[in-house]
Amino acid sequence: MTTIFRGTILHTKAFDEFESFENGFLAVSEDGKIIGVGNDYDSWLSSYKCNPSTLSEVRLSEDQFLMPGFVDCHIHAPQYAQYGLGLDMPLLDWLNTYTFPLEAKFSDQSYALKVYKRVVEATIRCGTTLASYFATNNLESTLILAREAARQGQRALIGKVCSNCNSPDYYVETAEESAKATEKFVAELQGLKNPLVLPTITPRFALSCSKELLQELGDIAKRLDVHVQSHISENLAEVQVVKGIFKTSYAGAYDNAGLLTKKTVMAHGVHLEDEEIALLKQRGTSVAHCPASNTMLNSGMCDVQRLINAGVTVGLGTDVSGGNSVSIQDALLRALDVSKHLDFFKKQNIRGTGEAKSPDPKYAQLKYKQALYLATLGGAKALSLDHMTGNFLLGKEFDALLVDVSVVEKPVRPLNVNELIEKFIYTGNDRNIIEVFVAGKRVKAPESA
Ligand code: GUN
Ligand code: FE
């Protein structure tokens, strides 16, 4: 069966290229690929030779639209167990007080299954069609997360977390154990033969890995040509310690181990220096911007315009549970907030603050369509999966959201396409996302269905 959606369709083709089709169509093949999109359904249909009885048509209402699924470039699956809790400390205290004790509990597989089932359900409910997950040090329970994402039909990158130093003794491995378990994890995931779920090499952060372990992980990433994810320059205290240990910049610590690759995404990057940004650009390494977490853990305000202007690919991350929301729609809104606050700061638009630290009258605030790009195609690029997902180009997999802005309250007048997406971004939530599709398969159905 070929499915044809008819109504308002929108997506982004680049940071500054939003495209929409009012009274448009989007055709999805039996195997979940986008085979037609645009305004002119009749001419597409006449060129697409098929038996009309094999077409199934879905007509969207005036309050509905179809958009690409959200991409969460950085989320900690086990931390869903403390979702919304313990947000009263900066990073290093937060890790030691709440997070390491929590993650250590994932040696219990039944506990892991309970939490991982819930986090995948919650992210799908909020429209995340692709997530890059950190699990824990524990190999077996990390495999449970991978199987759960596969079972629920979410596209996911999954990492067994690696840490062999500067960690509590109840939650640490040796470099040898960590590297061995990582290789085993990659082999097991590749054995699953599920094209939606891929392994990612996951040193927790430079602080919790020795030089030797980082090097081993860099070697594995290169040898097996797999994805890499970690944290970088999130918090000033953390940056100071890393520089002291590695005698180089934060980015340099990863680069020396061969961990900055085209398939690497680094979370945060709040405090990166210009040379480090240039290095990320040179290596093709991306950044996951996590505005909620950066605020909650008092890390700072990441200037994504600076990263983007320097040519670094940026996506969005919820960073649950450092971030207090599992929704990328919420992350998108927070990214807009942080960008405005930075702009206020740069233009001294703050009462009583005196001189701006780095006055920049030309500083450009992020616009909502640019933030939409970061939440979709930018994220797919950051995770090196933009050949498959992130927008509605022909041949890509149908990873999409059917959004209805009238779920909570019908707008007082019909909205045009720009207004529909604005309404959703600025006032929407998971209830407005009535259906979610991954690779053409519906993974969230309307509540009454
Ligand atoms: N740096 C190292 N581990 C973590 C973590 O779990 N969350 C965040 N936000 N930063 C980290
Ligand atoms: Fe994180």
- Could you say which residues of the chain have pLDDT below 50? none
Same domain, 95 and 47: no
Which of 73, 76, 232 has most ligand 1 atoms within 8 Å of its beta carbon, as the pocket-test mutant? 76
Q: The domain that contains 416 carries what CATH number?
A: 2.30.40.10
Answer whether residue 24 is part of any domain. Answer: yes
Q: Where are the beta strands (DSSP E) in 291-431?
A: 314-316, 400-404
Whole-number pLDDT of residue 89? 96
For tokens 């900066």, what's the residue?
A: 90
**Ligand 1 centroid to residue 49 C-alpha, Å:** 52
Answer whether residue 406 is part of any domain. Answer: yes
Q: Which amino acid is at 365?
A: Q
Q: Decide: 204 in ligand 1 pocket, CB within 6 A.
A: yes
- Regarding an ipTM greater than 0.90, the answer is yes
Answer whether residue 49 is part of any domain. Answer: yes
DSSP for 259-294, written as a single string: ---TTEEEEE-TT--HHHHHHHHHHT-EEEE-HHHH
Answer whether residue 415 is part of any domain. Answer: yes
Whole-number pLDDT of residue 355? 64
Same domain, 101 and 136: yes
Same domain, 174 and 77: yes
Answer whether residue 278 is part of any domain. Answer: yes
DSSP element (H, E) containing 151 = helix 139-152
**Ligand 1 centroid to residue 233 C-alpha, Å:** 11
Q: The domain that contains 234 carries what CATH number?
A: 3.20.20.140
**DSSP structure class, residue 30:** T
Q: Which amino acid is at 343?
A: D
Last residue of a domain, which of 332, 363, 383?
A: 383
Whole-number pLDDT of residue 50? 75
Same domain, 38 and 164: no
Whole-number pLDDT of residue 351? 66
CA dihedral 313→316→162→237, nearest 10 degrees, is 90
Answer whether residue 211 is part of any domain. Answer: yes
Answer whether residue 276 is part of any domain. Answer: yes
Residue 250 near residue 209 (C-beta atoms within 8 A): no
Same domain, 25 and 153: no
Q: Decide: 95 in ligand 1 pocket, CB within 6 A.
A: yes
Last residue of a domain, which of 339, 360, 383?
A: 383
Same domain, 236 and 377: yes
Which of 281, 331, 337 lies closest to 306, judged by CA?
281
Q: Is the dihedral of CA 170, 175, 177, 182 positive or negative?
A: positive
Same domain, 365 and 399: no
Same domain, 132 and 30: no
Same domain, 377 and 236: yes
Q: Decide: 293 in ligand 1 pocket, CB within 6 A.
A: yes
**Ligand 2 centroid to residue 321 C-alpha, Å:** 8
Q: How many CA atoms lie within 13 A of 343 on its CB side?
A: 14
Same domain, 169 and 245: yes
Q: Decide: 91 in ligand 1 pocket, CB within 6 A.
A: yes
Q: Which atom of ligand 1 is nearest to the CA of 322?
A: 9
Answer whether residue 449 is part of any domain. Answer: no
9: domain range?
Answer: 2-68+391-444
Which of 126, 124, 192, 175 lies closest to 154, judged by CA?
124
Residue 325 near residue 303 (C-beta atoms within 8 A): no
The pair of three-digit structure tokens given for residue 306, joined into one six-digit string: 């600076």
Q: Decide: 231 in ligand 1 pocket, CB within 6 A.
A: yes
383: helix, strand or coil:
coil
Q: Which ligand is nearest to the CA of 74?
A: 2
How many C-beta atoms surround the C-beta of residue 259 within 10 A?
Answer: 27
The pair of three-digit structure tokens given for residue 429, joined into one six-digit string: 């939530």
For the chain, how many structural domains are there in total? 2
Which pTM was predicted? 0.97
Same domain, 280 and 251: yes
> What is the distance between the alpha carbons of residues 114 and 288, in angstroms, rounded to a whole number?
27
Same domain, 55 and 125: no
> What is the distance between the alpha carbons of residues 233 and 267, in angstroms, rounded to a whole number?
8
Last residue of a domain, which of 331, 351, 383?
A: 383
Which of 172, 160, 67 lies closest to 428, judged by CA?
67
Q: Which residues contact 35 (CB under 8 A, 6 or more apart)?
A: 2, 27, 28, 29, 48, 394
Q: Which atom of ligand 1 is nearest to the CA of 238?
A: 1
